Amino acid sequence: MSPPFDDLSGSVRPEIPALFVREWARLAGPGSHWSGSQRVEIAASARAARQGSPPEQWSLPSSALQAASLLGATPARASRSWAESTIADLGPGPYVELVGVVSRTAAVDSFYRAVGSALARFPDPVAGDPSGVVDQAARLGAAWVPMVGGSSIVGALSAVPPEAEAQEDMHGPLYLTYEQMGDLQFERGLSRPQMELVAARTSALNECFY
Amino acid sequence: MLRASSEATNTPLDPRGITSTSIDPLVRGGSQLVGFVDAVLAGGDLEGVTVLLQDTLGEDAVVDAAGVIANFEMMNRIAEGTGMPVGKGSLARTEEWRSLVGLDRYHHD
């Protein structure tokens, strides 16, 4: 396993550090709208907000920094009016990509914290231009961002396909694949009700109604 | 999914244990799992609750719980950041439960 994930050992299933290696590579490289250095900065500012660290000198637009901080530390404080104003400033694609980066970084950090490890050092950014990849079929519906095929949590980031793919890539190793979610008898280290209790408590502490 | 999986597996469940730490959720190891989530997300004696969880459900359970927390840290942010609506059907089906558990306080625009 490549650094910095060598320290996840013991009973951690190998698919998890392998996932984090993929995620850190995604984070470091250019996305659809943000460069690699901007993506790392989004992740770092979200982590800093979660940790209550003092503000640093970031180069991102202020609305991106504010969005990364809010979604990183206090996601339940996001409101429609706030999101509309932020999306008007950044554009829907960059906003969706930011949501993806912040949410996956929170997942990696939380796993590290949960297994008692120090948080992983962020990767060095990889140079390159954003790809501009978007799904032109995405339309605005009941949610705040455009999506493909109507509002659904698995399609939440579908306007920016690499972000939706990254979300699905995380979902399987950490919890269940989208296909496994229908299996209510699923059992691994925890039974399905035990897994769902952890999910429900996590969502309650995050004050997430969804 | 908690209600559906507990029904599908005939697992005893008191959903009030989701939001109230003074109530045993009845799921085996439930109090230890809730304590673990709290220590990871809200701070506390993580080492102590990890040992307790490990003794109750085993080492693999700690890793699985860590994974589920991580996944929902991601999914909660995606839901909140995109303004994901809860469908009318789901709202109707879960009305009694939401009231019992006190989840409606988290509903915003």
List, as one string, the DSSP characters of B64-82. HHHHHHHHHHHHHHHHHHH
**Rounded percentage of chain A residues whose pLDDT exceeds 70:** 95
Helix, strand or coil, per DSSP, at residue A132: coil
Please tell me what DSSP assigns to residue A127: P
CA angle A183, A149, A78 (to 5 degrees): 85
What is the distance between the alpha carbons of residues B104 and B50, in angstroms, rounded to a whole number? 31
Residue pair A144/A83 in contact (Cβ under 8 Å)? The answer is yes
In DSSP terms, A187 is beta-bridged to A191
What is the distance between the alpha carbons of residues A159 and A134, in angstroms, rounded to a whole number? 6
Average pLDDT over residues A47-75: 92
| pLDDT digit string, tens, across residues B61-92 | 999 999 999 999 999 999 999 999 887 777 77
| pLDDT digit string, tens, across residues A6-58 | 556 667 899 999 999 999 999 999 999 999 999 999 999 999 999 998 767 88
**B65 contact residues in A (CB cutoff 8 A):** 114, 189-190, 194, 198
Cβ–Cβ below 8 Å for B69 and A202:
yes
What is the distance between the alpha carbons of residues B11 and A161, in angstroms, rounded to a whole number? 38
Residue pair A143/B85 in contact (Cβ under 8 Å)? The answer is yes
Mutant choice from B10, B41, B52, B69 vs A, greatest count of A C-beta within 10 A:
B69
B23 has a pLDDT exceeding 60: yes
What is the distance between the alpha carbons of residues B70 and B58, in angstroms, rounded to a whole number? 19
Count of structural domains, chain B: 1
A66 has a pLDDT exceeding 80: yes
Cβ–Cβ below 8 Å for A173 and B67:
yes
What is the distance between the alpha carbons of residues A147 and A156, in angstroms, rounded to a whole number? 6
State how far Cα A96 lies from the chain centre. 10
A93 has a pLDDT exceeding 50: yes
Average pLDDT over residues A78-91: 97
What is the distance between the alpha carbons of residues B56 and B29, in angstroms, rounded to a whole number? 6
How much is the mean pLDDT over chain B?
A: 90
Is B109 part of a structural domain of the chain? no
**A103 contact residues in B (CB cutoff 8 A):** 73-78, 81
Count of structural domains, chain A: 1
Which chain B residue is nearest to residue A206, measuring alpha carbons? B76
Q: Which domain holds residue A60?
A: 15-128
Is B17 part of a structural domain of the chain? yes
Residue pair A120/A4 in contact (Cβ under 8 Å)? The answer is yes
Is B58 part of a structural domain of the chain? yes
What's the first-to-final CA gap in chain B, in angstroms?
23
Is B20 part of a structural domain of the chain? yes
Q: Which domain holds residue B69?
A: 2-104
Average pLDDT over residues A169-178: 97
Cβ–Cβ below 8 Å for A116 and B50:
yes
Is B78 part of a structural domain of the chain? yes
